[in-house]
Amino acid sequence: MRLDNNRIETIRNNLFQHQSKLQHLLLDSNSLHTIEEAAFKGLEELLHLSLKKNNLHTLPDDSLWSPAKLKKLFLSENKLSSLTENVFSALPRLEQLSLSHNNLRELHKDIFRTQAEALTQLDLSENALTWLPQTIFSRLPELRILDISHNNIDSFHTQLFKSLHKLRELYMHSNNIKELPHPCFEGLGKLEVLHLQHNLVESFSHNNLLGLTDLRIFKMHSNRLRGLPLGVLDPLGSLEVLDLSYNDISRVEGDTPFSSLTRLKHLNFSHNFLLELKDNLFEKQIKLQSLKLNDNRLQVVGDTCLDKLTVLEEIDLSGNWLQRLSQSIFTMNSQLRSLKLSGNPLSYMSRDLFNGLDSLEELFLNNTCLSEIDDNLFKSLNTSLLKLYLQNNHMTSLSDGIFSGLSVLVELNLAHN
């Protein structure tokens, strides 16, 4: 039954007593501020109840939920500021619960105590939570997805997630977390997705990530990390996506800090303070497809730094301090489709710099201080290059036919030279 997008303000007792077979009830986007205790009495077969986008400030105790078979309950985008300990105690079969976009400041430690056998998805995001009791999730062994993002949480207990052995996705981003306790993710051996971006974390260690053997996606961008300690990423052998952008990282300890990440496909290290990329930095990343290192302070990239990245499709080195690149730096990157070198003081480029890049489709050389271009610089790109950006440089002339071999070129920008 759909009753959404009306002007309903109150649900009276026994309103649905003759709809005993009803399974889905949508009351979203009304003006609901009152639900009487026996409002849903008689809905013995109800499985899905949605009360999103209303004006609910509070909920009655467990007597409200007479439909004990309820599997999905959506209470997001209301004005709930507090909930009693027993508010969900009559819903043992609940599988999915959303309380996002409310004004909740705290939750009782036993509020989810009766959902032990069924609850798989819990959304607490976009509230005003500052702290979560140590045992609040201890009776939710079936939980697969937990979202506590966009709150005001500044710290959490080491045992908070210990019982969530089946958890696959954990979203903790956009809080005020300053420090990760040791160990903080113990028991999360099945976790595949971890979002910690947009917090205030200044450092983390090997012990913080112990046990995360199945983690595939780790987002730690937009924090205040200053470095990567030796071995900190070693426990993450299954990682495919790593985002450390928008931090304050100026150093990466160890010769091969990513050596354990043999399955890594996407690495974002942009907007940090790196000065150098050593030759063996990416020695084991043979599956890497995307590498973003833009907007650092790179002055040196080792001549063989990229040699192992034979399936790399995208590399962004723009916005650094590079003055030269070895003519053989991209020799082993034959699968490269996008190369961004803009915003570097590369006043000169070897004629052989792009040799072997016969799959390259877009090349960014804008804002690089180029004053001249060798006639053969683009020779190996004749049958692949679609977009070429050379704007905002210092070129005063170009030789005849320098672009004539670029047979599939569809976009060329030479503005502001």
Percent of the chain at pLDDT > 70 equals: 99
* Residue 90, pLDDT above cutoff 90: no
- Domain 313-417: give its CATH code: 3.80.10.10
* Residue 144, pLDDT above cutoff 90: yes
Q: Are 244 and 216 in contact (CB under 8 A)?
A: no
DSSP helix/strand/coil, 206? helix
- What are the boundaries of each domain within the chain? 313-417
pLDDT digits (tens, 9 = 90+) for 155-185: 999 999 999 999 999 999 999 999 998 888 9
Percent of the chain at pLDDT > 90 equals: 73
Which two structure tokens, joined as six digits, stand for 332?
A: 């082993």
Q: What is the mean pLDDT of the chain?
A: 93
DSSP helix/strand/coil, 381? helix
pLDDT of amino acid 67? 67
**Long-range contacts from 346-352, C-beta under 8 angstroms, 24+ separation:** 346/322, 346/370, 347/323, 347/371, 348/324, 348/372, 349/325, 349/373, 349/374, 349/377, 350/325, 350/374, 351/327, 351/375, 351/376, 351/377, 352/327, 352/328
> How far is Cα 102 from Cα 75, in angstroms, rounded to an integer?
9
Nearest to 242 by CA among 172, 293, 190: 293
| Reported pTM | 0.94
pLDDT of amino acid 292? 98
Confidence of residue 213 (pLDDT cuts 50, 70, 90): very high
* Residue 231, pLDDT above cutoff 90: no
Average pLDDT estimate for 350-377:
93
